[in-house]
Structures are given as structure tokens and as C-alpha cells.
């Protein structure tokens, strides 16, 4: 039995009985918040201790940015936050741009990721610009729907274009220095799209876990979750027992007083009342498995598909008892509010908040341009069919008043989807990551300057992190391949 399994068994022994004395209420699963990469990238505690000293030497800076880059009659400006790490730069090396996405920019963005290790080796200047509307880069006084018209990838890319020239002038970057953009998840899309739209400003782009082929009904997400669960010890039993639990819950919901019974079993407050409450609850149940699959082993062995299946396959309990234990572990013994109305009210909050991860802004972007709705449409997963695509679309109407679907076709036309007309881009994905279903995976001809890398056993953006004890063994070799392509480009090999 390997070390990971032993650690997980110890975990089960310690946490098999969650404290049932409930405290405050916690919100239910929010895919626009809980699946955001910025829960990981903004956690500076995850950085190696050596980087904490570097963080103390770096601080946020600000520069003036245009609200609308495409309307010269609009002269409004806002203050946009950025970071610079020049501790490795020799004055003539390349410039590495970490492009940010749907969350606050952390000091760790320029200090604690794998690309920073590479920057040290090639004496690169590291810079990063916070995405407009996120973190402290407020564009408008509040987040009212009419104020979000400037929240688009087009404006965000233009922000980075202006920022790129600002850095070039401020730091007197030589004309011979090469510019490389990095990003993961949505910001991975932006990294590749930056190269596609502004090839004169960025020479090479690395896009990690980038879902560049947006769809409205992202039913494939839960299919990949099931496939990931099947890779674990006794994976088929795990999936079968989740399916059994789901069916038991759905049967209970149909009984007299079933809403009250299920609410008590899962410590829900208020109790379930409406069909929308039920849909939100069922998606929240799946959400624990979605999050631990998407970020499998990123935070440690206890947040992984193996840990989930060890609990589900505990035959000293019936499957529903194990399912409830997973729920209680995730909720830390708190009462949980899964009411649909509470969720809508949360996303209706229009206050600017520099700590907000995802939330209203990212929801707006998915409702207008990306979709990405993780629905239960497919039959190839064990989580039932009570949060299908109509439930996802309804939320856009109830939060923003939209009577239209996201214009994913225009996003694909604008940037090329799975077949971009571009060069010098590397797309990296992991086969455990549900988002790889919307990424560029197919190997390109040897003559192409677009590279792809699919990492076995890798989760969402796993290649961006510095490997640790519990990191899958496939990550470090993959990072060597990525750096080989990058360094060959910087050194003009085969160009």
C-alpha cells in the first residue's frame, strides 16, 4: 500500500465523525466561485518558504488605463493594479507576462509558480496585470449590469497590450528582448488569444488548461469527473455507490415530507422548498466531487478523487451514509443554505469587493460570451439529472435579466476555437481536468509552431505549480518538456 493511500486511511480515521454541533450557515456550491483557479493562485500559504521572503520585497503598483479601448469618444479612465518582479532580470533578458483572469491578483502571481523558476534561469523580468473588474481594479462605481459592458476578453486583451508598452517604456526593455505570456484556465485562453490578436507585442504564449472552445451546455464536465473517479482504487464501485446514493436521495425527495427529510439529513437551512432549490442542492452535492476532481492533489492528498472514493467505498456504512460524510466534511459541520433565492441574492450584489473570487463578474462573462454551464445532461455520470441546462440558463435571466444565450459562436469566430490561425503557442492540459474537454489536445505537425501537451493524471493548471511531495509523478517531466520548448524559442533554436 503506497504512502498516499496510508495517509488517506489516517484521514478517514480522524474525520469519520464530523462534529454535528452546527454553527453558522455556509453558502452552497457556486461553480463560478468554487471552481475558480484563484482559490489556489491567491493562496500565498501554498508557496515555498523561500518565496515568502521574495513576496516581502514586492508590492502592488497602479497605472491609468482606458475604460474603453475601442471608442475614442470615451475618455474615461480607471486605475489598474499590477505587479513587477525584477529580482532576476539582467536588463536584457526576456519579459514574462502572467495574464490574470477571474479573481484578485495575488503577490504569488509573480513569485511562487513554476514559470518563476524558469524566469530565474533565463534572467527574465516578470510582470502581471490584474484583470479589469476583478480584485481592486475597479472600472466603474459598482457592478450593476449596465456597468459591466466593458467586461469582455477584447477589453482585457487590450489592457494587456497597453500594459505591455507601459512596461517596455518604464523599464527600457531592449527591442531584442522576447515577450512570453502565461496563463491558466480562463487566463490561459487570454494568454493564447493575446498572441493571436497582438502577435506584434508577444512572441510566445503558454496556455495551461485553456478551454478555448466554449460551449453553452458543458455536459462533458461531469463525464470527465466520472472518468477520473474510475481511475481510483475500486473506481467502478465508487461510481456505482455515488449513483446509488443519488437515486436514494431522489427517491426520498418524492416521498411525503421528503424535502424536510433530505434537508435534515444534509443539514440544510432553510429546508428545501422549490424545484430550483432541489436543482441547486443536487448540483452542490456533485460540486464536492467536481472541485476535488478539478484540483485533484493540488492542495494535498486529502483533496483528491482517491480520498473521495476511499470514503464512498467504506463498506462498514451504506452508500448514502458515506455520501453524507463527504458532504459534511466539505461543509465542515456547518448548516448549509442551498436555497435558490439566496444564491440569486448573492450574485445580485453589485458592490465592488477586492476579495471577490469569481462571483458576479465571472457569471456575467459566462452569460454573455462563454457559457461553460456544467449541466447534468449526459447519461455518463452518477449525479442524476436534476440540474440540466435550462436551470443554468435561468440563472442568467434571474440575475441579469438576459433573454438571450451566451454568444459562444462569436467567441469561437473571434479567436479560432480549436483551430486558431496562429503560431508560437503551447497548449497544455491534464486528462484528469474536466476542462480539457474544451481544450486543444491534438498533436500538431512537426512543422507547426503550435505545440500541445496532454499530461496523464494531471488536474486543472497542475503544470503551473512548483511540484511538491504529493504532486503526480507526471508533472515534473512535463514541465521539463515545456521549458525545453520555451528555452529553444528564446535561444532561436529551429527558428
Q: Is the alpha carbon torsion for 95, 161, 203, 460 positive or negative?
A: positive
- Segment 17-44 shows an average pLDDT of 62
Is residue 359 scored above 60 in pLDDT? yes
DSSP state letter for 439: S
What is the rounded CA–CA span in Å between residue 320 and residue 265?
Answer: 10
Q: What is the DSSP letter of 131?
A: P
pLDDT(488) > 50: yes
Residue 406 forms part of a structural domain: no
Judge whether residue 410 has pLDDT over 80.
yes
If you count them, how many residues does the chain have? Answer: 495
Residue 368 placed within a domain: yes
Per-residue pLDDT at 117: 95
pLDDT recorded at residue 184: 96
Domain-ending residue, one of 400, 434, 455: 400
Contact 73, 50 (CB under 8 A): no
pLDDT bucket at 38, cuts 50 / 70 / 90: low
Q: Are residues 207 and 232 in the same domain?
A: no
Look up residue 268 and give its DSSP letter.
Answer: B
Q: Rounded mean pLDDT of 134-144?
A: 96
How confident is the model over 23-47, as a mean pLDDT? 65
Q: What is the mean pLDDT of the chain?
A: 91
Same domain assignment for residues 209 and 225: no
- The answer as to whether 166 is a domain residue is yes
Residue 493: per-residue pLDDT: 64
Residue with cell 483557479: 37
Q: What mean pLDDT is predicted for residues 223-239?
A: 97
Res. 407: pLDDT tops 80: yes
Task: Identify whether residues 364 and 222 lie together within a single domain.
Answer: yes
- The yes-or-no verdict on residue 150 having pLDDT over 80 is yes
- In whole angstroms, give the CA distance from residue 93 to residue 491: 11
Q: Is the pLDDT of residue 1 over 60?
A: no
Does residue 137 fall inside a structural domain? yes
Say yes or no: 189 and 57 in one domain.
yes
Q: Where are the alpha helices (DSSP H) in 295-388?
A: 305-312, 319-331, 340-347, 359-365
Q: Read off the pLDDT of residues 440-455 as tens digits, 9 standing for 90 and up.
A: 998 877 768 899 999 9
CA distance 225 to 481: 27
Decide: 95 and 179 in contact? Cβ < 8 Å: yes
Average pLDDT (354-375) is: 91
Give the model's pLDDT for residue 186: 96
Range of the structural domain that residue 222 is part of: 3-34+216-400
Cell triple for residue 284?
A: 452542490
Q: How many domains does the chain have?
A: 2
Based on the domain organization, do 333 and 222 belong to the same domain? yes
Query: What confidence score (pLDDT) does residue 37 get?
Result: 74
Statement to judge: residues 140 and 210 lie in one domain: yes
Establish if 495 belongs to a structural domain: no
Tens of pLDDT, residue by residue over 56-88, are 889 999 999 999 999 999 999 999 999 999 999
d(CA 358, CA 487): 34
Residue for grid cell 509552431: 449
CA–CA separation, 451 and 145 (whole Å):
39
pLDDT of 21 reads 45
- Alpha carbon distance 230, 214 (integer Å): 26
Helix (H, G, I), strand (E, B) or coil at 421: coil
Q: What pLDDT sits at residue 131?
A: 97
Q: Can you give the pLDDT at residue 352?
A: 93
Q: What's the CA gap between 395 and 408, in Å, rounded?
A: 17
Q: Are residues 253 and 362 in the same domain?
A: yes
Band (pLDDT 50/70/90 cuts) for residue 34 is confident
- Residue 298 in any domain: the answer is yes
Residue 180 and residue 245 share a domain: no
Residues 242 and 351 in one domain: yes
Cα gap 89→285, rounded to integer Å? 47
**337 pLDDT more than 60:** yes
pLDDT, greater one: 3 or 296: 296
Beta-strand runs (E) in 352-449: 425-430
List pLDDT tens digits, range 300-317: 888 999 999 999 999 999
Q: Are residues 246 and 158 in the same domain?
A: no
* Short-list 124, 185, 189, 118, CA closest to 160: 189
pLDDT category of residue 18 using cuts at 50, 70 and 90: very low
- Determine, yes or no, domain membership for 109: yes
Residue 17 predicted with pLDDT over 70? no
C-alpha 160/C-alpha 393 separation (Å) is 31
Instruction: Reduce the DSSP state of residue 143 to 3 states and report it.
Output: coil
Q: Which of 330-334, 361-365, 399-403 has the lowest mean pLDDT?
A: 330-334
Cell output for 124: 527574465
Rounded to whole angstroms, what are the CA distances from 318 to 244, 281, 312, 329? Answer: 10, 21, 9, 17
Last residue of a domain, which of 369, 400, 431? 400
What letter would DSSP give residue 218? -
State pTM to two decimals: 0.93
- Strand, coil or helix: 454: strand
Domain presence at residue 461: yes
Phi, psi of 441 (to 5 degrees): -115, -35
The CATH number linked to 162 is 3.40.50.1820
* Same-domain check for residues 438 and 472: yes
- pLDDT for residue 188 is more than 90: yes
CA distance 206 to 220: 24
Last residue of a domain, one of 400, 426, 458: 400
Q: Do 52 and 129 reside in the same domain of the chain? A: yes
> What pLDDT score was predicted for residue 20?
45
- Mean of pLDDT values over 123-132: 98
* pLDDT digit string, tens, across residues 250-280: 999 999 999 999 999 999 999 999 999 999 9
pLDDT surpassing 60 at residue 248: yes
Amino acid at each position: 500500500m503506497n504512502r498516499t493511500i496510508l495517509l488517506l486511511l489516517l484521514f478517514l480515521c480522524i474525520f469519520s465523525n464530523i462534529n454535528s454541533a452546527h454553527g453558522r450557515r455556509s453558502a452552497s456550491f457556486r461553480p463560478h466561485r468554487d471552481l475558480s483557479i484563484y482559490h489556489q493562485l491567491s493562496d500565498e500559504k501554498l508557496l515555498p518558504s523561500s518565496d515568502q521572503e521574495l513576496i516581502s520585497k514586492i508590492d502592488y503598483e497602479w497605472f491609468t488605463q482606458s475604460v474603453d479601448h475601442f471608442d475614442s469618444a470615451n475618455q474615461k479612465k480607471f486605475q489598474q493594479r499590477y505587479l513587477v518582479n525584477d529580482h532576476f532580470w539582467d536588463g536584457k533578458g526576456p519579459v514574462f507576462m502572467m495574464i490574470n483572469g477571474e479573481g484578485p491578483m495575488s503577490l504569488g502571481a509573480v513569485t511562487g509558480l513554476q514559470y518563476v523558476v524558469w524566469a530565474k534561469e533565463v534572467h527574465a523580468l516578470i510582470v502581471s496585470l490584474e484583470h479589469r473588474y476583478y480584485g481592486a481594479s475597479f472600472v466603474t462605481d459598482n457592478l450593476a449590469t449596465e456597468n459591466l459592458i466593458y467586461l469582455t476578453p477584447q477589453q482585457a486583451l487590450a489592457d494587456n497590450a497597453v500594459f505591455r508598452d507601459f512596461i517596455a517604456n518604464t523599464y527600457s526593455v531592449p527591442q531584442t528582448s522576447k515577450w512570453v505570456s502565461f496563463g491558466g484556465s480562463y487566463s490561459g485562453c487570454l494568454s493564447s488569444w493575446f498572441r493571436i490578436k497582438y502577435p506584434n507585442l508577444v512572441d510566445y504564449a503558454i496556455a495551461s488548461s485553456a478551454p478555448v472552445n466554449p460551449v453553452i451546455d458543458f455536459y462533458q464536465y461531469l463525464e470527465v469527473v466520472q472518468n477520473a473517479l474510475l481511475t481510483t482504487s475500486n473506481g467502478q464501485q465508487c461510481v456505482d455507490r455515488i449513483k446509488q446514493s443519488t437515486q436514494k436521495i431522489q427517491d426520498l425527495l418524492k416521498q411525503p415530507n421528503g424535502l424536510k427529510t433530505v434537508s435534515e439529513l444534509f443539514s440544510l437551512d432553510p429546508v428545501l422548498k422549490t424545484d430550483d432549490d432541489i436543482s441547486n442542492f443536487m448540483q452542490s452535492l456533485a460540486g464536492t466531487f467536481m472541485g476535488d476532481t478539478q484540483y485533484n492533489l493540488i492542495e494535498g492528498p486529502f483533496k483528491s478523487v482517491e480520498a473521495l472514493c476511499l470514503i464512498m467505498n467504506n463498506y462498514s456504512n451504506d452508500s448514502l451514509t458515506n455520501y453524507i460524510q463527504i458532504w459534511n466534511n466539505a461543509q465542515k459541520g456547518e448548516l448549509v443554505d442551498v436555497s435558490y433565492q439566496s444564491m440569486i441574492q448573492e450574485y445580485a450584489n453589485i458592490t465592488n469587493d477586492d476579495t471577490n473570487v469569481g462571483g458576479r463578474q465571472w457569471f456575467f462573462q459566462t452569460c454573455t460570451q462563454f457559457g461553460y454551464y456544467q449541466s447534468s445532461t449526459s447519461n455518463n455520470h452518477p449525479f442524476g439529472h436534476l440540474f440540466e441546462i435550462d436551470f443554468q440558463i435561468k440563472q442568467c435571466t434571474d440575475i441579469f435579466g438576459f433573454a438571450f444565450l451566451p454568444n459562444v459562436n462569436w467567441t469561437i469566430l473571434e479567436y479560432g476555437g480549436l483551430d486558431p490561425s496562429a503560431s508560437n503557442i503551447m497548449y497544455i492540459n491534464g486528462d484528469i481536468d474536466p476542462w480539457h474537454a474544451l481544450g486543444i489536445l491534438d498533436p500538431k505537425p512537426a512543422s507547426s509552431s503550435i505545440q500541445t501537451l496532454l499530461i496523464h493524471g494531471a488536474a486543472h493548471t497542475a503544470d503551473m505549480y512548483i511540484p511538491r511531495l504529493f504532486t503526480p509523478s507526471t508533472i515534473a517531466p512535463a514541465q521539463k518538456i515545456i521549458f525545453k520548448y520555451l528555452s529553444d524559442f528564446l535561444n532561436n533554436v529551429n527558428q
